[in-house]
Amino acid sequence: MNTALARLTQLITPPSEPRATDWDAVQEQLGITLPSDYKELIRAYGGSNWDDYLYLLEPGCPNDNYDLIEWEDQQTEALQGLWEFEKKPDELADAGSRVIPWATTDNGECLYWLVKTGQDPDQWTVMVNEARGDRWEHYQMTCTEFLLAALEGDVHSDALSSRFPRTTHEYRQLTAV
């Protein structure tokens, strides 16, 4: 277990039954290898809601609204259309760079991995895009490190709600609707 996940499990106890995911099938469908910290995070918590605000996307999530594969398809298409009219974030200037969603919020902000050509997935960092706007923030940390830092109040984002995180943390695993 990575250090950030170990600290996260001390902050919020994960469900007693870890999620089983066929990562080979997921990665084949996405055409990429996903970061190991994300796989551990999903195994521990699954698709989930944090502090009644942030939704962790899961491949094959029981709640179809938060399926990682669906989000990746939708966001890739939406951003390609958007960037015909708006400037891409500077972090995506390199050929082959892209973003892949791993979380969203109830306000519509989206949290992405910044993926660069030839980069090891365990080195992917976090990009946050404000809802209905062109502001992007970049964080030099993994998704699990970002989630932990956000919950502990160590990350201050202008894109995310000022009411996140809550003083008393809430967690719920997503289920079928």
For residue 83, is it within any domain? Answer: yes
For residue 67, is it within any domain? Answer: yes
For residue 10, is it within any domain? Answer: yes
Two tokens, residue 147: 């989630």
- Report the pLDDT value the prediction gives residue 177, as an integer from 0 to 100: 77
Q: Render pLDDT for 124-144 as a digit per residue (tens, 0 to 9).
A: 999 999 988 788 999 999 999
Average pLDDT (8-26) is 92
The structure tokens 């706007």 sit at 133
Angular region, 115: left φ>0, alpha ψ -120 to 50, beta rest: beta
Q: What is the CATH number of the domain that holds 48?
A: 3.40.1580
55, 147 Cβ separation under 8 angstroms: no
Question: How sure is the predictor about 82, in pLDDT bands with cuts at 50, 70 and 90?
Answer: confident
Q: Render pLDDT for 31-49 as a digit per residue (tens, 0 to 9).
A: 999 999 999 999 999 999 9
For residue 177, is it within any domain? Answer: no
Residue-number span of the structural domain to which 10 is assigned: 3-172
- Report the pLDDT value the prediction gives residue 154, as an integer from 0 to 100: 95
For residue 17, is it within any domain? Answer: yes
Number of domains in the chain: 1
For residue 154, is it within any domain? Answer: yes
- Report the pLDDT value the prediction gives residue 83, as an integer from 0 to 100: 83
